[in-house]
Structure 1
Amino acid sequence: MSKILTKKKIPLGRYRHYKGNEYEVIGLATHSETQEAMVVYRPLYGEGGLWVRPAAMWNEILEKDGKIVRRFEYLTEKKVATEPELDTVDLLQDLKTLLQIKTVNGDAGEITAEAPLGTGINEALNFVLLRGQSFGMRTKNCDGYCGYVEFGEGPELVAVTTHIDTVAVGEDWTVPPFDLTIDGDTIYGRGVLDDKGLTMVSLYALKALKEAKVSLGKRVRLIIGGDEEGGNWACMNRYKQTEEVPACSFSPDSGYPAIFAEKGIMNIILEKELGHQTPALVFSGGGQINSVPDAAQAVFNGQTFEAKGKSAHAMEPEKGDNAILKLAAILTAEGITHPILTLLERATTTGFGIDLSDSVSGALTLNPAIVQVDENKAVLRCDIRYPVTLKSSDVVAPIKKATADLGFCLEMDHDVKPLHVDKDSFLVTTLQQVYQDCTGDMAEPMVSGGGTYARAFENSVAFGGGFPGEVNTCHQTDEFWSIESLEKNFEIIVKALAVLAQ
């Protein structure tokens, strides 16, 4: 857990347990041996008496009969909000519904005229927009590609950008991936962090600002995309064709503090036509270009080989365990020779001649993500994140040279130029100040290997999601997030929007 996060306070007063009985909190205490925070309370029924319970348990949110509830609900008079407030229970209930809609990029249901990215994407998009309407805000579905929720008046627009599509689930989940599972302060599900959770946090931030009648001089908009994980960003391309571009924006799809630069993202395909080989090697692994592959399979001479790895985001391949590379090493150790195995042996930054870095954004990363080999063809797809001061040609040329003797053709399938915003710009310094005010952390702005919607607009950066010291579970099995982190993100996003929209 990040040291930045602090446990939520428990006010004194009357509470109702989710099973119905009422209690009064009369004080807070500290366990003399463990230093654990404790709640001192008495039942308001029966013989009463004084009891203690761990504060963490008192604050718990859980699920009962499909409904999200607090273990103990504070019984206080409902007042009109004068400061932006979050109803965590309502947010989690909405997040549960959103997680139950399968929105895997490239596998989100039938493609139709109304749902060009899949029926799941359109259903999820409409759910978020309907919630925005129920909160009294203006909404628009942009032909099933993206949409927005907006409130306020003024000539200028400030935006927060998120996405509702996810990467594939992968293997070995211990909880249902397309649902919300709550375990203490931890919530699980595909997209709970990347990026459905932060979509709902951002929506509730707009709701809170509106209900608290915070004085703003600009309109505030949540832009929701449906095609972020695939890298093509048809959603943002569609948005910019007809919709208003924000004067400034940020994307809570990365981490804190502010991300002033994002590395270039390149996907390459190395392909070779094979002559007739006996026996032939059949080799497959990976499914998502921006994830470290967690499984690979091969068949050679009637014998089956498998390897298991660990998924991770392609921007941090060192945090995963690449199953394709593991299986290639196993096959080579068995004495099997094949052009794809030679290529995979070289598929490192050193082997490809791309051990490159700069002083602004650090080292290039390489993720051999997808392999497909049969008797006719061998194909390897790689995800590369390159430093902000380099061009894609600085990367392609060395790879071609390093693999020339193997006969593979190289094709650039995707190239997103780096993002680099001046650290001293108004946007970055403002977001940094908000972060410091909310956390007390004086960390400097950072560089990321991730690719966020910050690249879609001018004067935009990534800001939000994970805190320093937190485990990043994006794209991983059993993706999880803490409720405490969710609530802290709400606080920061509310303040950031309020300051930028003054």
Structure 2
Amino acid sequence: MTMPFNQEALLDALRGLLKIKTINGNAGAITPEAPLGININEAINYVLALGERFGFKTKNCDGYCGYLEIGEGSEMVAAITHIDTVEVGDDWTVPPFDLTIDGDKIYGRGTLDDKGLTMVVLFALKALKDAKIPLNKRVRLIIGGDEEGGNWACMQHYKETEEIPQYSFSPDSGYPVIFAEKGILHVTFEKELEQNQPVLEFNSGKQINSVPDYAKAVFNGQTYEAKGKSAHASEPQKGDNALIKLADELNAAGIDHPLLKLLKRATPEGLGIAFADEVSGELSLNPAIVHVDAKKAVLRCDIRYPVTLKGQVILEAIQKATADLGFNLAMDHETLPLHVDRDSFLVTSLQKIYADYTGDHSGPIVSGGGTYARAFKNSVAFGGVFPGEENSCHQTDEFWSIESMRKNFEIIVKALEVLAQ
């Protein structure tokens, strides 16, 4: 059965969600009811209110996350999305906190990552409920509020207080089924500078999981700037790192500084971490944030590493490769890899749904991205961007295709139906 796709209602609901500024770490005042910011809590309540209007069971989980649920049964399956976003950045040509429609494209921060897909799952649940599809399990949409920061306080709180799904998927990545996600490592280099060190002021980057699109430095009264292109840290090759561009310019100008020496080595090869495995491929590195003043130099990097590797091995290799530069190295955050058996019920069931719908039988894949699938057992990433489709996550003028939205809706409806049998 093909479910009706109510495009107008979905886009209208998405417009209201986009208007709530839910930038991770910058989402309004922190209160007991809103531990991630009042705007995060408002956005969660906005989605829950839509669910209540559709007749769903809903719950706000103490401002960290929320869920909507349909169906009956002792077991529960889920789709997991998030309503927080990365920073906006510069040079937008459309209002970032509104919905702009231009032909088949819709623009706004979160249209693809992940507010648009949150609305798609919400309307998929409505379609299943309205069609009275017989389900043997309850079906839940879990909405997180702390995905982009990497700490995932929302999922930690959920797991401590709520029911864990038997099977789940996160439509926050791409197709086909993503059965493995690389490990994520955030590291910080820090060095106290000597008083006789010539003063360099250097600033770039706002979000560690994004390629920085602007960098500025001042040295000896002269200002230097570089512009690049933002991209998701899981695919740094798709961006143009302004931080690295500016460092190259400063090096070419003959400026001698410990931070610039470090940035010369800021590649997998230069840091001694050009690792790879057969399951998930090569390690990637995103030098994301720099702050340098007269007293201190700081560089923060996002690393996506192969699923068979350990974060500590990477840290030790970096320490060995940079020991002569005198920087202190710290691991700020690690998200362990996800690896689900590609022959499991979950992977084979979702892969069949995708293959039957698209005719693409290429098989499940590996991603450098990090989704909420890592939060639970028997969970994978499934949904979002189709092969060959442009991925605008974390980019200026973030957009999504209405046609892609419709296709996601039809696949997700079927996925939730199959998992709930």
| TM-score, normalised via structure 2 length | 0.99
Map of 2:281 onto structure 1:
362
Conservation of the 8 A alpha-carbon contact between 2:2 and 2:410: no
Counterparts of 1:443 and 1:484, CA distance in 2: 22
Map of 1:113 onto structure 2:
32
Conservation of the 8 A alpha-carbon contact between 1:259 and 1:447: yes
Pairing 1:45-444 to 2, within 5 Å after superposition: 84-277=3-196, 279-444=198-363
Conservation of the 8 A alpha-carbon contact between 1:105 and 1:227: yes
The one-letter amino acid paired with 2:18 is: L
Offset, 1:84:
2.8
Q: Deviations over 1:43-80 (max 9, x none)?
A: xxxxxxxxxxxxxxxxxxxxxxxxxxxxxxxxxxxxxx
Conservation of the 8 A alpha-carbon contact between 2:290 and 2:299: yes
Rg bigger for which structure? 1
Offset, 1:277:
3.3
Map of 1:15 onto structure 2:
none
Identical amino acids, percent of aligned pairs? 71
Q: Aligned residues, how many?
A: 421
- Aligned to 2:194, the other structure's residue is in SS state coil
RMSD: 0.8
The one-letter amino acid paired with 2:66 is: G
- Aligned to 1:424, the other structure's residue is in SS state coil
The one-letter amino acid paired with 1:198 is: L
The one-letter amino acid paired with 2:392 is: T
Gaps of 5+ in 1: 1-81
Conservation of the 8 A alpha-carbon contact between 2:178 and 2:364: yes
The one-letter amino acid paired with 2:23 is: V
Gaps of 5+ in 2: none
Offset, 1:278:
5.4
| Residues 1:487 and 2:398 are matched in the alignment | no
| TM-score, normalised via structure 1 length | 0.83
Offset, 1:119:
1.0
Counterparts of 2:93 and 2:329, CA distance in 1: 39
Q: Deviations over 1:125-167 (max 9, x none)?
A: 1000000000000000001000000010000000000000000
Counterparts of 2:387 and 2:72, CA distance in 1: 35
- Aligned to 1:384, the other structure's residue is in SS state strand
Range 138-147 or range 84-93, more displaced = 84-93
Counterparts of 1:456 and 1:401, CA distance in 2: 32
Range 269-278 or range 258-267, more displaced = 269-278
- Aligned to 1:172, the other structure's residue is in SS state coil
Offset, 1:438:
1.2
Counterparts of 1:381 and 1:279, CA distance in 2: 22
Map of 2:415 onto structure 1:
496
Conservation of the 8 A alpha-carbon contact between 1:83 and 1:212: no
Give the alignment partner of residue 454 of structure 1, picking from 373, 396, 402: 373
Q: Which has the higher contact order (CA 8 A, sep 6+)?
A: 2
Q: Deviations over 1:206-238 (max 9, x none)?
A: 000000000110000000000000000000000
